[in-house]
Structure 1
């Protein structure tokens, strides 16, 4: 159970210790590898679609049904992983469970590398790789080793490492065979296993299990820049806050109070809009998606690398701007910009489908549209829904609501990713992209009237805001 600790007594804010950097960065190596696995399909599908048997281990072009299964089924299995992994981390500990995830991801990555031309084995091993959903437990680990004044900063590191993983996959994938690309993608998990064994269990988890001495030793390592008195004060605050926490909430409790229902709705809708925007689907098929645009000055793989650079940059900018401009404003700017960018990409594909004479003058449009799409997506649609999922629920229901909301979102991703190859083949890319654009536009209107702003509010103030929520528009 992930519990947040509030400071009951004044604790001095100091610069983070080197060991804190070591723990956070080492833990995020799994996030890096998971991010690379999410972009794995983009360069790999280009090879599997080729008639060249030297780069295609299947010996034939992959079918649309196989593309759907290879991209969609691992996303679906990660939904189940998301539902159960937090519970296992409660039983076995954050550190031990993450080490288990690292072992499973490493072995699965080896399996992907040596699956050869067996598409079924490739799908199974990718499912095992994504099933761990280490991202969710890593976020709990980081939240429980950090302090109130730096939790937001280190929490943003997960999103940045995930985007760096995407970039890593796009950069490495086009230049290596599927076998060696998969091995390189798996390498961070091996480094993780070596160094993460040196980090401590989270102090909060140890205290929950009644291991006060081990909790204090963990704090000493994590707060090596603090005095013994400051560590004792933090431990005292933790113990007092743990006594105040009631029983852990369950799914039924989500619907017992109006503010809980509102928190659930305002957590789920932004995430639904994010995944319905189709940007996650476009990421998975980025190289073949751009190749179908028919522009000649850059290959799909090169575009994927360029897009990933803009995506990482936009996520970093979002982490710097979100406290100044607010969650709501960034989200609305993001959905509006993403809707317009996708609309014009759809226009290009439509003109291509009718062999318009305007195409030679619009060769710049697909690349420009994709850059704008991922840039607008990264400043709001990407990070804000996950932040709202952490802020809006009451503490005792946060883990339950996050599991429910995120797993539901993954079902949406599974449906969109699985259907995209068939729909684009039957009706054309333009109708898929226009549908994504329409989802963003509708999302903008809904969130403009209903989404509250949480910037600058404490968790208690957010709960009071939800209890008193009555106006259609809250600024």
Structure 2
């Protein structure tokens, strides 16, 4: 009898730990959800190809009918980031009430309509309003949640990287289409993935975890059968039981901002999450990308800023994908340090180039290769750490019940900093773009120093082990 029980336990253990190849339906579900990430990425760089047209006095090309002013450029680029704060803080909570699928469908529809409104806007105020509405749902946070909840433990890390990859694909999509179409047609084209999303996502499932949380067990099992169609019924039952065991208790779901100050490790999770995120924003890479084409045109080389933007976007995607393969071997902390330190060097050299250009140095004619080379190295090093790793780093530090509220708070603070930098960049660059670039370079050095002394390594650590690291964290030992 004992042997029989032992055999049954072994069989259950084999079933529960079995890994099967990811199904086509799972890939379709995750990729379709990330069409929102792609559209968001394209929207982020909308200003890069469009600003060149808005500076013109040609009413056939410029929809606002006059050259845009510097202050209007700052508002058009920066104000929409403020809508992200409200979206990140408040809107995704509705997905806990109405479901991930319904929330994403409604968000996709709102973003689609606002994209169409942006395409037909003929003044700066309408452009600002429609861009704010586009980012207001905070849909990308729920997209990441949806992808995580339809995945399994062994493939969650892989699908977690899809957000960064699809966002970079959106950047490339925007850079490729922008130079060849009018503002209206370009905006409609980069909004089109949302139409595909709304149509296809209607027939895709809700996440098993949400269905189980709402006591819809039969529906949960049916969804598991679709997502893991290559598994036997016994394996599906085993997966279902595992979901039930890991289900967060209702009491643990009530994480609030006020809970962050109750435990020292929770506050440390916020602070240590903010450090690489603020370094990411203050490196200036995200700001430069928003103004990439006009930024490069200011370098005065023979290359078109729009063409350079495409080349740089390809490099960025390549290194984002590369990082997803090597991160587990090298560790988060090490790659963040390499990334931040390395970005500082090409940015400093780029600042020297712009300084020589501002004083009309005769040697500038022999240095035309510097702007493109420095930007390629900058985005490549950004793609090795600060770009793709930060979001995952932030989600790994907090307690499970505080993960959502910690992420919301940290990203909201990051959005405020992003708004300030994006708003001030066009104004300060009027006094000399080299000062902006040098400041970005200095920020990378300062960020690298702070991360070297204060960031712990969490490679290969479980969530419980990470919490032990934070509980025993001693600031004095790191200085």
Bin for the TM-score computed over the shorter chain: over 0.9
2 CA distance for matches of 1:99 and 1:146? 19
1:154 and 2:159 aligned: yes
Cα displacement (A) at 1:11: 2.8
Tell me the equivalent position of 2:5.
Answer: none
Equivalent residue in structure 2 for 1:461, among 459, 462, 465: 465
Structure 2 counterpart of 1:313: 318
Residue in structure 1 matched with residue 404 of structure 2 by the alignment: 399
Aligned to 2:174: 169
Q: In structure 2, what is the Cα distance between the partners aligned to 1:466 and 1:233?
A: 34
TM-align CA RMSD: 1.5
What residue number does 2:273 align with?
267
Structure 2: tracts of 5 or more residues without a match? 1-12
User: Residue 100 of structure 1 aligns with which residue?
Assistant: 106
1:452/1:473 contact within 8 Å kept? no
Of the three residues 353, 356, 364, the one matched with 1:351 is: 356
Distance 1:271 1:104 in 2: 28
Contact 2:16–2:235, Cα closer than 8 Å, also in 1: no
* Residue 72 (str. 1) matches residue 78 (str. 2): yes
What is the aligned partner in structure 2 of residue 256 from structure 1? 262
Identify which of 435, 438, 441 aligns with 2:442: 438
1:170-221, CA deviations, whole angstroms, 9 ceiling, x for partnerless residues? Answer: 0000100000000101100000011111111001111111111111111111
Match of residue 323 from structure 1: 328
8 Å CA contact 1:9–1:237 kept in 2: the answer is no
Whole-angstrom distance in 1 between the partners of 2:15 and 2:466: 22
Greater mean deviation of Cα atoms: 247-256 or 388-397:
247-256
Aligned to 1:397, what secondary structure does the other structure show?
A: helix
Counterpart of 1:452 (choices 425, 450, 456) is 456
1:387 lines up with 2:377 in the alignment: no
Q: Which has the larger radius of gyration?
A: 2
> Quick one: distance in 2 between partners of 1:228 and 1:8?
14
Q: Is 1:278 equivalent to 2:287 in the alignment?
A: no
Corresponding residue for 2:3?
A: none
Local SS of the residue matching 1:380: coil
Q: Deviations over 1:15-34 (max 9, x none)?
A: 01110011011111111111
Distance 1:271 1:204 in 2: 29
Among candidates 4, 10, 25, match of residue 16 of structure 2? 10
State the alpha-carbon separation in 1 of the partners of residues 419 and 20 from structure 2.
Answer: 44
Aligned to 2:422: 417
User: TM-score, normalized by length of structure 1?
Assistant: 0.96
Residue 138 of structure 1: how far off its partner (Å) = 0.1
Q: Which residue of 1 aligns with 2:378?
A: 373
Alignment partners' CA distance in 1, 2:143 and 2:15: 28
Q: Is the 8 A contact 1:245 1:396 kept in 2?
A: no
CA 1:162 to 1:473, structure 2 compared with 1: closer, same or farther past 3 Å?
farther
Of 144, 168, 185, the match for 1:180: 185
- What's the counterpart of residue 131 of structure 1? 136
Instruction: Provide closer, same or farther for how the CA distance between residues 124 and 8 of structure 1 changes in structure 2, counting only shifts above 3 A.
Output: farther
The match for 1:232 among 216, 232, 237 is 237
Q: Is the 8 A contact 2:92 2:137 kept in 1?
A: no
